[in-house]
Amino acid sequence: MRKIGNFFTKQGCDWYKWYHSVLPETRDNGQRLLTMTHYAQPFFAKKLKQLQEHLPQNEEITTVNINFDYSAGGIHSDGYIELDEDDKIAKSYLIPISVDAIEKYYTIIFDQTSHRAVTFNSALGLGSKGITTYKQVTREEYGLSDTPFDKKVYEKYLTHLDYNALRGLTVDYIHEWKLGDAMIWPRENFHVSANFTNKNARASVLITTRYT
């Protein structure tokens, strides 16, 4: 299954935009460092339950992130991170909650995989931008071949990356972002955002799951 139409209604998309505006953040109130943990509140447990009901019964949610992207990232897999090593990783669900009125956004899924969450960001010339918990790997460590990357796909979607650094990668599928529709891929598959110009318009919810 590659997609779920209307995963969120328009109101559902708006709820996540509101939630993003009140998400936990630490602030110095002049007396103490205060962190509001809204995700620990019962209303978010209710929300998680609703999300879970949209998903196949043999999958459970491990992560929910809200992303406001102002730059196209590097190539990575959403595999396990150190603390989740024993997880049977399942799927990534990416649901746009805000899109541009004119510009189209895409996410490119590759055939190549890694069960551990890794990125090629440094190898692609992006340094450590976009990295929080994922491990950097080089082309050599991963063992990518020297076969040139599809030039047409590169020119249409990936001009923010170094063409040569893409050698050995092949495309499995290209997702087009549609408000509220979930784009789905196996967590181990490498993927990347296509390049985009409007840095202020797009936001999404990312859900990752594991098999129960």
- Residue (128 or 147) nearer to Fe ion, CB: 128
Size of the site for Fe ion (CB under 5 A): 1
| SS3 category, 51 | helix
Cβ 18 to Fe ion shortest distance, Å? 24
Q: Give Cα separations from 8 to 4, 30, 181 (angstroms).
A: 10, 39, 7
Determine the straight-line distance between the first and last CA of the chain, rounded to whole angstroms: 18
Q: Measured between alpha carbons, how far is 131 from 196 in angstroms, rounded to an integer?
A: 19
Is 201 strand, coil or helix? coil
Q: Measured from the CB of residue 6, what is the shortest distance to Fe ion in angstroms?
A: 22
State the nearest-atom distance from the C-beta of 208 to Fe ion, in Å.
8
Q: Does 188 interact with Fe ion (rule: CB under 5 A)?
A: no
Interaction of residue 59 with Fe ion, rule CB under 5 A: no
| Distance of alpha carbon 133 from alpha carbon 109, whole angstroms | 20
With binding defined as CB under 5 A, does residue 78 bind Fe ion? yes
User: Which residue number, 14 or 176, has a Cβ lying nearer to Fe ion?
Assistant: 176
**Nearest-approach distance from CB 73 to Fe ion, in angstroms:** 8
Closer of 55 and 94 to Fe ion (Cβ): 94
Interacting residues with Fe ion (CB under 5 A): 78
